[in-house]
Amino acid sequence: MLSILAAGSIFFPGLFLLSKRCLKHGPGLGLSEGDATIVSARLVSSIQAIMASTAGYIIASSCEDIIEDQHWLTSTYILFAVPYFAYDIYAMFLCYWHKLQVKGHEEEGGRPKPMGSAVASYLRREFLMVLHHVVMVTICFPVSVFWRQGKGDYFQGVMFMAELSTPSVCLGKILIQYKKQHTLLHKVNGALMLVTFFICRVLLFPYLYYAYSRYASIPLYTVPLVAPWQCNVGAFCLMAPQVYWFTLICRGAFRLFTGASRSRPPAPLNKPDGGCCPGQGDRLPLPANGYSPVPYQADRETDTH
């Protein structure tokens, strides 16, 4: 167990550092420290999502009995991936911090925001996302590894596949970062993100209840009545933020495809684009998964996973 946790603790931060170094010093790249940090954080998130989705598909497709069948990859990947959520909290803050440095130099005559103030602002702006990551480490990890007692690997595998929406979210942030909001690629990616997020994150828990209703040969509406109350509470707590983020994505997608963002002139190119970082300053809206429902400025300064 400890060796797998250690491997994950080395892999994700190591991949981040390696990616950042390559983006800064690679031939034809030469990104700045801030840009390299932001792109690297998105790249690591995408790679983790691909790994989790692949593991989830292998697990779910191998379980004929959705309650009793076990797969060695289930607990192994949980142990390997749990350090990612701790790393990602720090990576998101680094993105936020680099954006604040740029904003501070532009708006305050070269006086960046103090670290303590930046941490408080980051936690306030990204409270829901940070809370989600903390819950994954402190509650979902022990529940998935110990409380389940080896049962329900199928459900765990399906939940891994929720990460299928993450690569499109990350690509959307990169396109926003490089001011490609009005390209065809951005619109296609936005549609893909809308569909994958809805299927993989919003419909995920209703599907799990449906799968159990078929397994137990009981009506769907009775599943919450026979399921352990811990399962119902956990499903609600995990699904609620997904529904909230999906509503923000829908609002942003509506504005994107109706061309509302074109009604305002583009911001000057020397302004920071905050594709990876949550808002900077009190004027900024709540994050919206890279496609903010707030006009053009928010397209450049919002972020969630």
Sorted by sequence, the CB contacts under 8 Å of residue 119 that are 6+ apart come out as 93
Give this prediction's pTM: 0.79
Nearest to 130 by CA among 183, 190, 86: 86
In a domain, 305, yes or no: no
Using the predicted structure, report yes or no on whether residue 12 has a pLDDT greater than 60.
yes
What pLDDT score was predicted for residue 274? 36
What pLDDT score was predicted for residue 173? 87
What is the distance between the alpha carbons of residues 132 and 121, in angstroms, rounded to a whole number?
A: 17
In a domain, 184, yes or no: yes
What is the distance between the alpha carbons of residues 91 and 273, in angstroms, rounded to a whole number?
A: 17
The 10s digit of each residue's pLDDT in 43-96 is 999 999 999 999 999 999 999 999 999 999 999 999 999 999 999 999 999 988
Average pLDDT, the chain: 81
Q: By mean pLDDT, which of 30-39, 113-122, 212-221, 261-270 is the weakest?
A: 261-270
In a domain, 261, yes or no: yes
Tally the domains of the chain: 1
What is the distance between the alpha carbons of residues 140 and 150, in angstroms, rounded to a whole number?
A: 14
In a domain, 197, yes or no: yes
In whole angstroms, how far apart are CA 92 and each of 29, 119, 268, 278?
22, 11, 25, 8
Helix (H, G, I), strand (E, B) or coil at 268: coil
What is the distance between the alpha carbons of residues 87 and 95, in angstroms, rounded to a whole number?
A: 13
What pLDDT score was predicted for residue 234? 87
How buried is 25 (Cβ within 10 angstroms: 0-12 exposed, 13-18 middle, 19+ buried)?
Answer: exposed
Using the predicted structure, report yes or no on whether residue 291 has a pLDDT greater than 50.
no
Domain that holds residue 154: 2-300
Higher pLDDT, 296 or 27: 27
Higher pLDDT, 167 or 253: 167
Sorted by sequence, the CB contacts under 8 Å of residue 87 that are 6+ apart come out as 9, 12, 13, 16, 44
Using the predicted structure, report yes or no on whether residue 286 has a pLDDT greater than 60.
no
What pLDDT score was predicted for residue 145? 84
Instruction: Please name the amino acid found at residue 69.
Output: D
What is the distance between the alpha carbons of residues 253 and 228, in angstroms, rounded to a whole number?
A: 37
Q: CA angle 77-82-86, nearest 5°?
A: 155
What pLDDT score was predicted for residue 271? 37
Check residue 275 and report its DSSP letter.
S
Work out the angle between the directed axes of helices 127-135 and 72-107 (0-180°, nearest 10): 160
Nearest to 156 by CA among 232, 75, 210: 75
Calculate mean pLDDT across residues 148-177.
Answer: 90
In a domain, 283, yes or no: yes
pLDDT classification of 161: cutoffs 50, 70, 90: very high
In a domain, 90, yes or no: yes
In a domain, 181, yes or no: yes
Instruction: Please name the amino acid found at residue 228.
Output: P
pLDDT classification of 132: cutoffs 50, 70, 90: confident
In a domain, 100, yes or no: yes
What is the distance between the alpha carbons of residues 78 and 83, in angstroms, rounded to a whole number?
A: 9
How many CB atoms neighbour CB 145 within 10 A? 17
